[in-house]
């Protein structure tokens, strides 16, 4: 089977969507299927893997780290994709490449699948601070896009419910993404304590992800201010990058915790895995997760999690079983962190259960479910 992934987000970016696409690329090849990724071109970036088709692009005005693809401006792009003889088109964003995927699926009479990776109503602040596009408008746009699809993949039941609340009526399948365990197992090539000149007695906290407004990181810093006051022998790492980085550094300084807070930028998978393994607690205050794939990556390394009691996180974390869940409240979030710092037995119990649960969420299982859906849709097209 030849599968075409159309996505506006891919390498050199590093986020949950990129991880999910990489996992599928690897697993589908094991099954003898060919997955091709059609995505914007980045200046001076060279892909290290095959099956990647880059299309002309320009900087994305609203979020400079990303590029806006212009596939319709290149006949070479069209010819190159046509030569792939795709059996199914699967889009991973509703923007330029996603729209192009819709066009080609219609033109070539191919099944069209779309994964709802991102809660777009929570991201409208990127568009002129929410004045250009409102959350309700984002919901309507999402509904309009899904109306064109044969099947929508929701990474969690919570996201299926979200789509249904928009009025989506087309077929929705819940398929958690999962991860490949070996890709996120640390190899102990270095120690984060030695790297940052920290005593082994210090308890470390880690956040990993985009540094954007939707990730609720001001709450994290304010919560850590409370934690640090009662547990001064702690240190907070923030791995990632984004438009909010400078403001978060300023807030850290204003709160007087800058000497206990380290911003790490984006890290490659193996380096990040080492932080996962050696960190005592993973802190994840995001309110906008469709699944929270990073949580599975962390749990594979037997690290306890404190996250928000909201959204797709609930498909992974069960409170007091394999992690702790907090409401969107600074004091409560800080309280969950301090509860684990105070109780070593609880921390170990949650870490172990999290590890066991994470092993059940494999990328291989997710890929097989996707292939099953593709085959069903292809047969339906043939009958029509």
| Percentage above 90 pLDDT, the chain | 80
338 and 230 within one domain: yes
Q: At which residue do the structure tokens 């088109």 appear? A: 89
Residue 285 to residue 218: CA distance in whole angstroms: 9
**Closest C-alpha to 11, from 36, 55, 47:** 47
pTM for the full predicted model = 0.84
pLDDT of 175: 95
pLDDT in tens, 190-222: 999 999 999 999 999 999 999 999 899 999 999
**pLDDT greater than 70 at residue 363:** yes
In CATH, what number is assigned to the domain containing residue 321?
Answer: 3.40.50.2000
Same domain, 96 and 128: yes
If asked whether residues 315 and 233 sit together in one domain, one would say yes
pLDDT of residue 64: 65
Q: Within this chain, do residues 298 and 168 fall inside the same structural domain, yes or no?
A: no
Collapsing DSSP to helix, strand or coil, 37 comes out as: strand
pLDDT 10s digits, 54-104: 999 998 866 666 799 999 888 999 999 999 999 999 999 999 999 999 999
Same domain, 224 and 242: yes
Structure tokens that stand for 80 in this block: 């190159």
pLDDT of residue 383: 86
- The larger pLDDT score, comparing residue 130 to residue 249, is at 249
User: Do 173 and 187 have their domain in common?
Assistant: no
Q: Are residues 112 and 40 in the same domain?
A: yes
Q: Are 215 and 209 in contact (CB under 8 A)?
A: yes
Q: What is the pLDDT of residues 1-20, one digit of tens each?
A: 999 999 999 999 878 899 89
User: What radius of gyration, in Å, describes the C-alpha atoms of the chain?
Assistant: 21
Range of the domain at 158: 2-178+362-383
pLDDT at 132 over 80: no
Q: What is the pLDDT of residue 15?
A: 81
* 148 and 208, same domain (yes or no): no
How would you class 88 by CB atoms within 10 Å of its CB: exposed for 0-12, middle for 13-18, buried for 19 or more? buried
How far apart (Å, rounded) are the C-alpha atoms in residues 24 and 29? 8
- The answer on 277 and 199 residing in a single domain is yes
Residue whose pair of structure tokens reads 């690329």 in the numeric block = 25
- Asked if residue 330 lies in contact with residue 223, where contact means CB atoms within 8 angstroms, the answer is yes
Q: Cis omega (within 30 of 0) on the bond before 12?
A: yes
**Of 83 and 124, the one with more pLDDT:** 83
d(C-alpha 255, C-alpha 234), whole Å: 15
Across the range 308-332, mean pLDDT stands at 96
Question: Is residue 324 located within the same domain as residue 376?
Answer: no
State the pLDDT at residue 128: 46
CB 311 within 8 A of CB 295: no
135 and 242 co-located in one domain: no
Q: State how many domains the chain has.
A: 2
For residue 357, give the nearest of 155, 181, 187, 184 by alpha carbon. Answer: 181
Distance, CA of 380 to CA of 366 (rounded, Å): 22
Same domain for 242 and 327? Answer: yes
Mean per-residue pLDDT over the chain, rounded? 93
What is the reported pLDDT for 338?
A: 98
């Amino acid at each position: 089977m030849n599968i075409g992934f159309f996505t506006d987000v891919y390498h050199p970016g590093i986020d949950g969507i990129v991880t999910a696409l990489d996992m599928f690329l690897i697993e589908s090849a094991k099954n003898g299927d060919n997955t091709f990724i059609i995505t914007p071109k980045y200046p001076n970036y060279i892909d290290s893997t095959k099956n990647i088709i880059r299309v002309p692009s320009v900087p994305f005005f609203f979020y400079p780290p990303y590029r806006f693809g212009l596939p319709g401006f290149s006949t070479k792009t069209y010819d190159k994709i046509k030569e792939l003889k795709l059996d199914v088109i699967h889009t991973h964003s509703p923007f330029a490449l996603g729209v192009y995927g819709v066009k080609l699926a219609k033109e070539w009479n191919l099944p069209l699948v779309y994964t709802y990776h991102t809660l777009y109503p929570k991201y409208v602040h990127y568009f002129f601070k929410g004045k250009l596009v409102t959350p309700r408008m984002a919901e309507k746009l999402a509904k309009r896009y899904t109306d064109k699809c044969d099947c929508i993949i929701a990474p969690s039941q919570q996201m299926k419910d979200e789509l249904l609340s928009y009025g989506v009526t087309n077929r929705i399948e819940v398929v958690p993404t999962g991860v490949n365990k070996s890709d996120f197992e640390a190899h102990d090539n270095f120690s984060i304590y030695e790297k940052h000149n920290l005593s082994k007695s210090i308890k470390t906290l880690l956040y990993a992800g985009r540094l954007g407004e939707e990730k609720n990181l001001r709450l994290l810093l304010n919560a850590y201010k409370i934690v640090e006051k009662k547990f001064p022998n702690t240190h907070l790492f923030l791995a990632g990058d984004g438009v909010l980085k400078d403001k978060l550094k300023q807030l850290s300084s204003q709160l007087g915790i800058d000497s206990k807070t380290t911003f790490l930028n984006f890290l490659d998978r193996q380096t990040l895995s080492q932080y996962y393994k050696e960190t005592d607690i993973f802190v994840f205050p995001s309110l906008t997760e469709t699944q929270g794939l990073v949580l599975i990556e962390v749990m594979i390394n037997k690290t306890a999690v404190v996250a928000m009691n909201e959204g797709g996180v609930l498909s992974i974390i069960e409170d007091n079983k394999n992690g702790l869940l907090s409401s969107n409240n600074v004091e409560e979030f800080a309280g969950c962190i301090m509860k684990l710092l105070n109780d070593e037995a609880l921390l170990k119990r949650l870490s172990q259960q999290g590890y066991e649960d994470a092993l059940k969420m494999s990328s291989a299982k997710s890929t097989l479910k996707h292939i099953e859906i593709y085959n069903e849709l292809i047969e339906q097209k043939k009958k029509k």
